[in-house]
Amino acid sequence: MSLLRFVCKFMGTMASSGRKGHKLSILLYHRVLTGPDSLRPDEFDKNAFRLHMEVLSECFNVLPLDQAVELLRNGALPPRAVCITFDDGYADNETVALPILLDLKLSATFFVATGFLDGGRMWNDSVIEAIRLADSGELDLSDAGLGKYTLHTDVDRHAAIVGLLNNLKYQKPADRDRLVEKIIINVGKTLPDNLMMTSEQVQRLAAAGMTIGAHTVHHPILKTLSDNEARFEIQQSCDKLEEIIGSPVTVFAYPNGRPETDYGQRDVTVLKDLGIKVAVSTAWGVCTHKSDLRQLPRFTPWDRTHGRFALRMLHNYSRTSADTV
């Protein structure tokens, strides 16, 4: 990677420099699987994740999120600055991703939805695992208003998963949970209860020097909630994590994360009232001195080779302030 390292450092230093300090890229990951999974083709396995981390380790300056934001605010960021973040709180973040991060001496921030700790399961994972375990043939969910699905191959199952997730994503939480439960009942299988982290795993991440951030309790679309419901989701997740790790939680990730679609200015104000200093969205872009520190952009680079990933990183730095939140 010597040539790649030279190109990244040379081009990255120029691309990440601005008139008022360097730019910051924030990367977003969710799961890091032990191996490829045809029903989760967009998730990274450990080999693809290590590839990314190797490029970051050799070619970029990886910083803890809170430190990077402080340097950004003061115009003191190093060139090619990057933060690594994870959303949701999956167990493989600790069992698979953490050893790779520690081996390469990298830091990361883990945003945890506290309602799923210690044996819980996110609604989308319930759908995925139910379809994975469903008997081959036709799955009739017409009584729940969700149609019929043919499940003979992994291609069939993946198509069913995509359709169901798209159908359910913006349902009101209570309605969505009711429909997911109907899917589970219809499939008639016992789903795994070890997909999400335990409280002890969160503690181990913190003890390893990683940053722990809040991600609500139940991962709702905040825009669909009342003022009281939204404040509860945000505050209770912070309080629970502070209880687990024994220190203040000052960083937050909006569930789903699209500005004005998944969250709004009301939610930004709640974070400010609660003392949250930094929050991240899923608006694609690069952070500059103009960025709202409670609406920082992030992106997930899907590339699976060293070169393409490095080019993706360099391209992100080339974005203008108009691309940021």
Q: What is the pTM of this model?
A: 0.91
**151 in a structural domain:** yes
Q: Is residue 155 domain-shared with residue 286, that is, in the same domain?
A: no
Q: What is the CATH number of the domain that holds 222?
A: 3.20.20.370
Q: Is residue 58 domain-shared with residue 160, that is, in the same domain?
A: no
Is residue 323 predicted with pLDDT exceeding 50? no
**196 in a structural domain:** no
Q: Is residue 258 domain-shared with residue 306, that is, in the same domain?
A: yes
Q: Is residue 110 domain-shared with residue 129, that is, in the same domain?
A: no
Nearest-10 Cα torsion for 153, 155, 161, 167: -120
**195 in a structural domain:** no
What sign does the CA torsion over 308, 52, 69, 111 have? positive
Overall domain count for the chain: 2
| Residue 38 exposed, middle or buried by CB count within 10 Å (0-12, 13-18, 19+) | exposed
Mean pLDDT of the 274-297 span: 95
Out of 137, 152, 187, pick the residue that ends a domain: 187
Res 304: pLDDT: 84
- Whether 194 contacts 119, CB under 8 Å: yes
Tens-digit pLDDT profile for residues 86-122:
999 999 999 999 999 999 999 999 999 999 999 999 9
**Least confidently predicted of 42-46, 243-247, 303-307:** 303-307
Q: Is residue 136 domain-shared with residue 51, that is, in the same domain?
A: no
- Tell me 301's DSSP state: -
Phi, psi of 139 (to 5 degrees): -105, 110
Task: Determine the 3-state secondary structure of 230 from DSSP.
Answer: helix
How high does pLDDT run on average in the chain?
Answer: 92
- Residue 181: Cβ within 10 Å count: 13
- Domain extent at residue 158: 123-187
Tens-digit pLDDT profile for residues 188-239:
999 999 999 999 999 999 999 999 999 999 999 999 999 999 999 999 999 9
Q: Is residue 89 domain-shared with residue 220, that is, in the same domain?
A: yes
**163 in a structural domain:** yes
Q: Is residue 18 domain-shared with residue 99, that is, in the same domain?
A: yes
**49 in a structural domain:** yes
Q: Quick one: what percent of the chain has pLDDT higher than 70?
A: 91
Quickly state the pLDDT bin for 81 (edges 50, 70, 90): very high
**78 in a structural domain:** yes
Length of the chain: 325
- Whether 156 contacts 149, CB under 8 Å: yes
Q: Quick one: what percent of the chain has pLDDT higher than 90?
A: 83
Q: Is residue 91 domain-shared with residue 73, that is, in the same domain?
A: yes
Q: Is residue 223 domain-shared with residue 270, that is, in the same domain?
A: yes
Question: 284 Cβ partners below 8 Å, 6+ apart?
Answer: 297, 298, 299, 323
| Residue 187 exposed, middle or buried by CB count within 10 Å (0-12, 13-18, 19+) | buried
Q: Is residue 95 domain-shared with residue 239, that is, in the same domain?
A: yes
Res 5: pLDDT: 56
**22 in a structural domain:** yes
**96 in a structural domain:** yes
Q: Where would I find the beta strands (DSSP E) of the chain? A: 17-18, 21-22, 24-29, 32-33, 44-45, 61-62, 81-88, 109-112, 137-140, 148-151, 211-214, 251-253, 278-280
Which of the two residues, 30 and 22, has the higher pLDDT score? 30
Q: Is residue 237 domain-shared with residue 311, that is, in the same domain?
A: yes
- What is the residue type of 307? G
Res 307: pLDDT: 87
Q: Is residue 28 domain-shared with residue 89, that is, in the same domain?
A: yes
Is residue 319 predicted with pLDDT exceeding 80? no
Out of 146, 171, 187, pick the residue that ends a domain: 187
